[in-house]
Amino acid sequence: MNPALVSVSPEVRAFWARFVALLACDPSERFYKSFHFDDNQPSADELAELVLRGTKRATAALLWSYESENKPLPTPGSLSIVTLWSGAPICVIDTTSVEVVPFEQVSADFAATEGEGDGSLEFWRRAHTAFFGRECLRIGREFGPSAPVVCEQFRVVFPAQGENAS
């Protein structure tokens, strides 16, 4: 079994098993992680709902966070389980693209694809400056315009209430 699947909760593992049961093959070697968005419950649950609605089709993280956890970046084809803050699984996502760019070079198109707030680059920058600032405090880095941002785009392949995987 993929080591990343061993470390997830029984609820997440059962959700993954339901997803796999709908497929002709077992994609467990592509399992990347189980996670919630953001660092607080209201936002994490709201962002998860945006994913289910199809509004949020991307996410951004500091490259430094991956480095501090000694975790490889996702790659196209990686499968992850999005959860609510509580850990309850809500969907499986398939990473479609990953690009690392300086914060100041994140595009308006990417901000719109991330689907948060009003979808503008201005909103994206305000929200992510605040989040990345907190993240930098946690990992002992200093946030600035050249901070490397991992811009990941994805598609939902299995919603919690769905019956069909694609």
From the list 89, 61, 57, the residue with the least C-alpha distance to 73 is 61
- Interior angle at CA 48, CA 78 and CA 128, nearest 5: 85
pTM over 0.95: no
Place of tokens 């994609």: 27
Other CB atoms within a 10 A radius of the CB of residue 157 amount to 18
Q: 82-101: buried (b, 16+ CB within 10 Å) or exposed (e) per residue?
A: bbbbeeebbbbbbbeeeeee
Task: Spell out the domains of the chain, with CATH numbers in brackets.
Answer: 3-159 (3.10.400.10)
What's 95's DSSP letter? Answer: E
> Are 32 and 95 spatial neighbours (Cβ–Cβ below 8 Å)?
yes
Compute the distance between CA of residue 94 and CA of residue 110 in angstroms, rounded to an integer. Answer: 17
| Residue 28 exposure: Cα atoms within 13 Å on the Cβ side | 16
From CA 85, how far away is CA 88, in angstroms rounded?
7
Render each residue's pLDDT in the chain as its tens digit; 166 residues.
687 888 899 999 999 999 999 998 999 999 999 999 999 999 999 999 999 999 999 999 999 999 999 999 999 999 999 999 999 999 999 999 999 999 999 999 999 999 999 999 999 999 999 999 999 999 999 999 999 999 999 999 998 665 444 4
